[in-house]
Structures are given as structure tokens and as C-alpha cells.
Amino acid sequence: MNVGDRVGDLSGVDETGAELRLSDLLAKGPLVVFFYPAAMTPGCTRESCHFRDLASEFAAIGAGIVGVSADDTAKQAEFSAKHSLGFPLLADTSRTIADAFGVRRRFGPNKRATFILDRDGTVVARIDSEFAMNRHADKALDALRALG
């Protein structure tokens, strides 16, 4: 999935066990979808908490946030509760969503990547960096501000 591509209407189960549809999330406005390798690890915690810390800035421009990893709902729930994340975390255990976005590795955890989607599901920005975890939220905000 690259800039200009359009995401299909995917669905997944969040940390509470509720099914979320991409179309429902996009109906509320642009969406930031960030993939992280594994909940409860230092880098993914840093990245997720940075999104949490900037959540009011994302909300001010009408954008939603959703995190995705291959962890199960119990692990996602623990991660969200421990860090008071406040946005959905999808438990993509089958890696269907990761496959659709092209971030699944053959072996090991998914790649760390962030996608900014316009309301119609078009990718307007993509951020890739395995080690600059805080860069994802900052660059996503910049892309959304540029989108207007």
C-alpha cells in the first residue's frame, strides 16, 4: 500500500472484542493507521504512547487513530489499559490487515509503518521507520495538517 492507493473496507477486532470496520472509522474523518511489531515492547510502547500524547492534536483536526499488531485481544487490552492509550488497537492475529497494507514479514512481527487515509480510504501519506518510533506520530500530524 503506497500513497495514492485506496484501501478496501477491512474489518478487525479491537482490544475490547468489538468488530471495527474501516468504513465506519473513515466516516468520522481521516484516519491514521499505525502498525507496530508487538505490544508491551519498549519501542512499540514508546510509539503508541507518543500517539496517545498527541491524541488531542489529532482530534483537533478531526482525525482518528487506530493501532494494529498481530497480538491477540487479551494482549492488546493489557497494553491499552497499562498505558491508557484511548484509541482502538486491532488484534490482527491472522495478519489479514497487515497483508492488505503490505507490512507483513514472511517471518517475525509486522513491519513498523504508519498510513494516513483520507475519508475515501486513499493513502495520502506513508511513514516507514523501524527505529524512529516517535517520528510516526509527528509525521502523521504534519501530513494531516498539509491535507487541510
Transcribe 94-116 into DSSP letters: T-HHHHHHT---SSSSPPPEEEE
User: What range defines the domain where residue 132 resides?
Assistant: 5-146
Query: What is the model's pTM?
Result: 0.93
Share of the chain above pLDDT 70, in %: 100
Q: Given phi > 0 = left and psi -120 to 50 = alpha, else beta, which region is 12?
A: beta
- The better pLDDT of the pair 126, 1 is held by 126
Q: How far apart are CA 56 and CA 25, in angstroms?
A: 17
Is the per-residue pLDDT at 13 higher than 80?
A: yes
The three grid cell numbers given for residue 101, joined into one nine-digit string? 497494507
Decide if pLDDT at 78 tops 80: yes
Domain total of the chain: 1
Would you say residue 116 has pLDDT above 80? yes
- Evaluate if residue 18 carries a pLDDT over 90: yes
CATH (domain of 142):
3.40.30.10
Does 103 score more than 90 pLDDT? Answer: yes
What is the number of alpha carbons within 13 Å of residue 21 lying toward its C-beta?
A: 5
Q: Region 75-83: what's the mean pLDDT? A: 97
Cα distance between residue 138 and residue 92, in whole Å = 24
Confidence band for 1, pLDDT divided at 50, 70 and 90 = confident
Listed in sequence order, the residues at least 6 apart from 74 whose beta carbon sits closer than 8 Å to its beta carbon are none
Residues carrying an active site annotation: 44
Alpha helices in 14-111, H assignment, sequence order: 22-26, 42-53, 55-60, 73-83, 96-101
| Between 61 and 1, the higher pLDDT residue | 61
Give the mean pLDDT of the chain: 93
